[in-house]
Structure 1
Amino acid sequence: MKDFKKYYIIPASPVELYAALTNPATIQLWTGAPAIMTTEPGSEFSMWDDNIAGKNLEFEEGKKIIQQWYFGEEEEPPSIVTIKLHEHAQGSSVELKHTNIPDEAYDDITEGWTDVYFAALLEFYTH
């Protein structure tokens, strides 16, 4: 198991970005695929045609999202994604921390965060 931490700058306010990450209609706009998402702790979510799925753990509107991501079999310890949103001169600074990534998935997951997930958000807000 490995951990990953990275910062991204997205040209949208933390409130706008929070909505883009938690509203299923907006998620569909930037991912191009239907999403299942709610801000109810304990609810399950799914994005990108079930390529990303897990359980919502905690939300702080406009500031923080904490989720458990699933990787096939039940993971012990669970793989936790924490996204913190901070005001930035160019919009938002996003602090991403993803813990307990299975070793065999690490390269795909870390590349996916930058080249797919946050690249899609960046494109959504710049075009």
Structure 2
Amino acid sequence: MAGLAVASGAERAEAEDTTTGATAAAASSATIHQEIDLAASPDRIYDALLSAKQFGALTGLPTEIAAEVGGAFSCFGGHIVGRTVELVPNRRIVQAWRVATWPEGVYSIARFELRLQHAGTRVIFDHTGFPPELRDHLAAGWEDHYWKALRTLK
């Protein structure tokens, strides 16, 4: 992930991923925090987010996912691309995430925390480092394209 940069923002914090050696900056001025309750178990949600077959079936669009740290992914027919930077099985997924039309090498950070809640999962989701003017559009996109699809899992 050489050349990884994050979209511009007022303040930046540099963080090195010790697994891949990639450096990512998080722009504190552009963030989304969402907490979503889903009926499926954390392992089911984790698998759905990291399986090209399952995620593609949920969204109805071509998906490629290398389910490993450093692995590339492409979702929604190539509209969303990136790399996985951290995995804690059934608990956490952190991705360097970008819309394909963003400038080459510019990524945001998407963090999915999965917590067992009753018989299902609470997803604590944080998205940082994207262009601030895209906040409302991206927040709605997570609901429309991720959470609605994951709500169909039992």
The question of whether the paired residues in 2 share the 8 Å contact of 1:66 and 1:81 is answered with yes
- What are the residue-to-residue correspondences of 1:107-118 with 2, within 5 Å? 107-118=136-147
Quote the residue 2:133 is aligned against: 104
Aligned length: 123
Displacement of 1:106 in angstroms is 1.6
Displacement of 1:31 in angstroms is 0.7
Quote the residue 1:121 is aligned against: 150
Q: Once the two structures are aligned, what percentage of the paired residues are identical? A: 28
Whose helix fraction is larger, Structure 1's or Structure 2's?
A: 1
Divergent runs of 4+, >6 A: none
Quote the residue 1:13 is aligned against: 41
CA RMSD of aligned residues (A): 1.4
Gaps in structure 2 of 5+ consecutive residues: 1-8, 10-29
Gaps in structure 1 of 5+ consecutive residues: none
**Residues of 2 paired with 1:90 and 1:115: CA distance?**
24
TM-score (norm 1): 0.90
**Residues of 2 paired with 1:54 and 1:80: CA distance?**
10
In our comparison, the structure showing a higher alpha carbon Rg is 2
Residue type of the alignment partner of 2:89: E
Quote the residue 2:24 is aligned against: none
TM-score (norm 2): 0.75
Match status 1:55 vs 2:55: no
